[in-house]
Amino acid sequence: MRYSFKIGGIHPAPNKIASRRIEIFPLPMRASLPLTQHIGAPSKAIVGKGDKVKRGQLIAENSSFVSAGLHAPVSGTVVGVEDIVMPWGKSSRSIVISATEEEHLEDSHDREKYWCDMIPSICDRSLSERLTADEIRTKILQAGIVGLGGATFPSHVKLSIKPEQKPEVLIINACECEPYLMCDDALMCTYPGRIAEGVELMMKAGGIPRAVIAMEDNKPEAAAAMREALQENKDISLRILKTKYPQGGEKQLVEAVTGRRIESGKLPLSVGVVVNNVATAFAVWQAVATSQALIERVITVTGDIAAGERKNYMVAIGTPFSSLPLTLPGEAIAIVGGPMMGRSAVRLDAPVMKGTSGLTVLKRPERRQPLACVRCGACVDACPMGLEPYLLSTYGRLRMWDEARENDVFDCLECGACSYSCPSDRPILDYIRVAKQRAKL
């Protein structure tokens, strides 16, 4: 029996067509690092124009508890703290670092050594036994680690659990239910042992007795690799789930793995569960075992039309998308993230951020004019939260914020299953998003 969440869900074509190898992508000569790459208060820049920085050095610190630090992905000189245009066209305050030729060569050499020295498959348990929970949490905080699945919630906050909150199980989200994207898949195939160690460190840091790595059944290679790495380990188990979108949604995942439902407005911890992404586990291992801060991550460059090679790259945070080897034909659109939850990118000179999981290049879809809602209920059937998307969307369009609030608009996780399933091509999610923004006021 394959596990899954019960209500709603859709089955878009998975299109996992990129290669599973991770290619180390060269460091950029110029990196821009937005100060808001995570949920919470923006980081505070502690370097100024003209300062020399080293690769891995802290350049912006936490401004409050729910915040994350930023580290220099390349050695070089700070050009300034200025507004940089994000992929979707809005600007954001960023630190810009420019490297010279020598610095670039030295960094590249160090980095090559770092990745070559890494033994991928052996799981060494001594590390998590040697360190205390506080030490691990401090390391996570110092490395500026945030949730790498896309929500970018600071990890040290998630793992600051009081014993009376009774955490029972740590779920490692390796579902990657978003079509096209394969960065987590590639990471699990390449560094399964390191991920397992990262999971152990997280369990120790949060005082969680048990962990479950959950993935969809369309990743047999990754499952085999993880199973081998976890052979000796009794506390971490593997759970294969049905391929169904959005299996990786936090509440859906908790339901699929434990059968528990999280109440509206509550956190997974209310049912004794902590959810973290698999890439975050790897980043935690990097931070604790190799003292490398979160300065690079795996992203998938993929799509359905000629977009160079479809590959997974280990790129430094702050690398501009335009330096990736891809050509964009005129009839193509680029999406930062996957096609379901990603955002359309209009500026490819924007940098890769901590929460960027990929770049998807798709053939421009023919947009049909939205027709009238026929009350077929397809969106209601598709909604994984059991909401009535057509109704919430109408409230958003008619500016009925109170009614939207009463109908639990804040439970919406913006997965897009409603817009995907609508036979009338109505922009359902767009208006729900508006309602979510305005109903807060």
Partner 1 sequence: MSSEHIFIYTLVLMGLLGLVGAIVLYLTAKKFKVVEDPRIDQIEGLLPGANCGACGCKGCRDFACECVRRGNLDGLTCPGAGAAAMKNIASILGVDSVDAARNIAVLKCNGSCGARPLTYEYDGASSCAVMDAVGCGTSACSYGCLGCGDCVSVCRFGALRIDESSKLPVVDEKTCTGCGVCVRECPRHLIELRPEGRRNRRVWVACSSRDKGAVARKICSAACIGCGKCAKVCPFGAIEVTDNLSYINPDLCKACGKCLGVCPTGSICATFENITKDKATE
431 binds partner 1 (CB under 8 A): yes
Quote the least distance from Cβ 399 to partner 1, whole Å.
Answer: 7
Residue among 64, 91, 264, 327 that touches partner 1 (CB under 8 A): 91
375 binds partner 1 (CB under 8 A): no
Subset of 380-399 contacting partner 1 (CB under 8 A): 397, 399
287 forms beta bridges with: none
Mark the segment that binds partner 1 (CB under 8 A) among 16-24, 60-68, 190-198, 433-441.
433-441
Residue-wise burial string across 139-168, b where 16 or more C-beta atoms lie within 10 A, e elsewhere? bbbbbbbbbbbbebbbbbbbbbbeeeeebe
130 binds partner 1 (CB under 8 A): no
What is the CB-side half-sphere exposure of residue 167 using CA atoms within 13 A?
Answer: 25
Among residues 167 and 342, whose Cβ is nearest to partner 1? Answer: 342
Among residues 93 and 227, whose Cβ is nearest to partner 1? Answer: 93
DSSP state of 340: T
Site string for partner 1, 316-345 (x = CB under 8 A): ---------------------------xx-
Residue among 346, 371, 374, 376 that touches partner 1 (CB under 8 A): 346
115 binds partner 1 (CB under 8 A): no
Is residue 437 packed enough to be buried (19+ CB in 10 Å), middle (13-18) or exposed (0-12)? exposed
Distance CA 247, CA 175 (A): 7
Helix (H) or strand (E) holding 52: strand 52-53
Site string for partner 1, 44-83 (x = CB under 8 A): --------------------------------------xx
Subset of 399-418 contacting partner 1 (CB under 8 A): 399
DSSP state of 322: G
CB atoms within 10 A of CB 255: 21
Is residue 251 packed enough to be buried (19+ CB in 10 Å), middle (13-18) or exposed (0-12)? buried
Distance CA 359, CA 374 (A): 35
Secondary structure of residue 170 in the 3-state scheme = strand
Distance CA 415, CA 177 (A): 11
425 binds partner 1 (CB under 8 A): no
Quote the least distance from Cβ 88 to partner 1, whole Å.
Answer: 4
438 binds partner 1 (CB under 8 A): yes
367 binds partner 1 (CB under 8 A): yes
**# residues near partner 1 by CB under 8 A:** 21
Among residues 26 and 427, whose Cβ is nearest to partner 1? Answer: 427
Cα separation values, 367 from 85, 231, 371, Å: 27, 50, 12
Quote the least distance from Cβ 87 to partner 1, whole Å.
Answer: 9
Binding region for partner 1 (CB under 8 A)? 82-83, 85, 88-91, 343-344, 346, 367, 370, 397, 399, 427, 430-431, 433-434, 437-438
